Structure 1
Amino acid sequence: MSDNLQGQERGDVLAHVSGNLRRLRQAAGLSQAALAQASGISRRMIVAVEGGDANISLSSLDKLAAAMGVRFVDLVRDPARAPSAEINEVTWRGSDAQSTAVLLGTAPATAEAQMWLWSLGPGERYAAEPDPTGWHEMLFVTEGTLRLELSGIARDFAAGSFTIYATDQAYAYANPGTVPVRFVRNVIS
């Protein structure tokens, strides 16, 4: 499974992304074509996301945010809620109903820091695209055993363990067990 926002439930963050993308793009004075050129994301994809008709990868959302000079959380935040560090929005769903990623909140860093609560059902795997140089993740496993794959090398982390690593490489999370795995993910850029 890729790092796509799954459109299975329109009540999730994808419903906010379409309106936020359109509003922020217009506030930045960018046409869809100009945003496509600045972000490297196709105009066709931007049109589909703004229309609420497409799944988009989390890394593509990062690229769109950077091209508009806003933060990732500005694209996924519920615009009806008062601004705060708390986001608490589903931003990824796996094929197993127990597999979700919830962006819990954000705090400023050199660029940004994000805190996520992840769960993966048995046998589920999430593969991520490499991030820009200088980005890192911190994972803390709260339940089950998480398999982290970094550049093709897998290592298991049991509940109560953690790891910190650079994400400018191919990486993936997997649940090799028979029970759900839950972990906190901090993204630092």
Structure 2
Amino acid sequence: MRNIMRKKARMSNILPTPSERPSVLVHVADNVKTHRRSAGFSQDALAKASGVSRRMLVGIESGDTNVSLATLDRIAAALRVTFADLVRPPSTGGLTRVDAVAWGGQQADSRGTLLASTPATRQAELWHWSLAPGDRYNAEPDAEGWYDMAYVIEGRLTIVLAEETVDVEAGGFHVFKSNQPFSYQNHGDVLVRFVRNVVN
């Protein structure tokens, strides 16, 4: 099992900032409770398996306790789910889009937002791309199980898929299965820069 935040912010880092607390902690509370029950754990059993006190688990499941990323990581490992499974809005189910603030710093503009997560069993690639105005990149379909994640830094990126076309503005992102023909296109008059993750 691959815990995506295991090597990231720790200890004093909290989830989330006070302004984000209501929705995110409700998601965490619901997800921890749902996954605990699905795994057949009592709160006592999960406390032992994760090394997190039962008192802390009660607070997390009630949505009243601010929790560190490291604590959520231990709970996710004990439940055999990912960190993303615990912070995503329940309505997204198993989809790849998460878009949840998972860490807030001391300053209002300091935040870590988990945009998306997919299982990766064999390979992951991180790319920085740029497309000049009028240019495009046409891709052949990947094998089943591959995903593309594009985060736009500058400009507007058009992603053309088999059944939809998606325009992504700077600051936005899109995740899709890449087992289909697709292309990245720049229909604008300024350079487009984006980060692309390719994962299997």
Structure 1 length-normalised TM: 0.55
Out of 18, 38, 53, the position equivalent to 1:42 is: 53
Match of 1:130 in 2: none
> Of 27, 32, 40, which residue of structure 2 is paired with 1:21?
32
Cα pair 1:32 1:47 within 8 Å, conserved: yes
Where do 5+ consecutive residues of structure 2 fail to align? 1-10, 127-152, 154-194
Q: Equivalent of 1:2, from 9, 12, 22?
A: 12
For residues 3-46 of structure 1, give each alpha carbon's deviation from its aligned partner in whole angstroms, at most 9, with x where no partner exists: 21135133442220001111110111101010000001111110
Residue 111 to residue 39, structure 1, CA distance change in 2 (3 Å): farther
The residue that corresponds to 1:69 in the other structure is 80
Q: For the structure 1 residues 26 and 38, does the alpha-carbon distance in structure 2 shift closer, same or farther, using more than 3 Å as the test?
A: same
Q: Structure 1 segments of 4 or more deviating over 6 A?
A: none
Secondary structure of residue in 1 paired with 2:89: coil
| d(CA) in 2 for partners of 1:12, 1:85 | 19
2:104 match: 93
Which consecutive unaligned segments of at least 5 residues does structure 1 have? Answer: 116-141, 143-183
Q: CA RMSD in A?
A: 2.9
Question: What TM-score do you get using the length of structure 2 for normalisation?
Answer: 0.52
User: Number of matched residues?
Assistant: 119
Return the alpha-carbon distance in structure 2 between the equivalents of residues 99 and 24 of structure 1. Answer: 30
Which has the greater radius of gyration? 2
